[in-house]
């Protein structure tokens, strides 16, 4: 059981469940040096193995020189680790059901216990406030820092017209939150459709959010997802 193995499993888990596809990435902070983190070289998540994991400093420069292509958006990870000392894992995804909530005035709300963390408040990052006419990608440290400021102390932020970023104290929380953010967005759309403009939807109240969030570590699901992912990797060899 190593951190790198858990990181590789995270790529496979999120790809398997459609939270990331050919794009999207996961990183984890180094246990040895909090000013370093691990992220794959530029590769589709389903292909990532331990050999593809590189170490980066918090300016998102690879620690070991090489000429492998890197994710253009690696600054998302480094800049969040700089601003959030308690965060040890970051997921960037284009999770489809979440996108509509980043482009409308309809906020994501806590509707489902597995994603009660939504009740803490999920901000939306507007890239135009930092750079007009961008291609939406977080290609520079400046854009990464602006995204980290939008995220603030929250567990996730939507990125308008692009995707989202989800963080946690460890990989299992960052991965679990990413999985259930997608599910919860879909459930909210379904509830809004059923309720229609006049129907009532009962959201979590503040006390329910407060009671649910600290307890939810996704441990049982993580053990299952991880076991299945590692079995699939083993079968490929």
List residues with catalytic annotation.
73
Contact 125, 158 (CB under 8 A): yes
Backbone Cα Rg of the chain: 17
DSSP notation for 132-175: TT--S---SHHHHHHHHHHHTTSSEEEETTTEEEEEESSHHHHH
| Residues 86, 10, 137: CA angle, nearest 5 degrees | 75
Q: Which value, to the nearest 10 degrees, does the dihedral of the CA atoms of residues 216, 220, 224, 229 take?
A: 40
Residues 78 and 141: their CA atoms lie apart, in Å, by 8
């Amino acid at each position: 059981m190593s951190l790198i193995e858990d990181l590789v499993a995270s790529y496979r888990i999120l790809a398997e469940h459609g939270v990331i596809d050919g794009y999207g990435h996961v990183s984890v902070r180094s246990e040895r040096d909090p000013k370093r983190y691990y992220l794959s070289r530029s590769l589709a998540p389903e292909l990532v193995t331990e050999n593809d994991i590189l170490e980066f400093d918090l300016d998102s420069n690879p620690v070991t020189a090489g000429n492998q292509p890197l994710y253009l958006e690696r600054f998302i990870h480094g800049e969040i680790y700089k601003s959030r000392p308690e965060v040890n894992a970051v997921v960037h995804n284009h999770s489809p059901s979440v996108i509509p909530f980043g482009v409308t005035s309809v906020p994501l709300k806590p509707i489902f216990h597995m994603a009660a963390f939504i009740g803490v408040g999920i901000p939306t990052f507007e890239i135009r406030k930092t750079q007009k006419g961008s291609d939406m990608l977080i290609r520079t440290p400046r854009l990464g820092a602006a995204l980290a400021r939008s995220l603030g102390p929250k567990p996730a932020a939507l990125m308008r017209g692009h995707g989202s970023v989800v963080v946690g104290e460890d990989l299992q929380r960052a991965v679990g939150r990413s999985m259930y953010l997608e599910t919860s967005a879909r459930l909210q759309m379904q509830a809004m459709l059923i309720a229609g403009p006049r129907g009532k939807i009962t959201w979590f109240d503040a006390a329910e959010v407060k009671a649910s969030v600290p307890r939810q570590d996704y441990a049982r699901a993580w053990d299952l997802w991880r076991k299945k992912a590692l079995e699939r990797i083993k079968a490929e060899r």
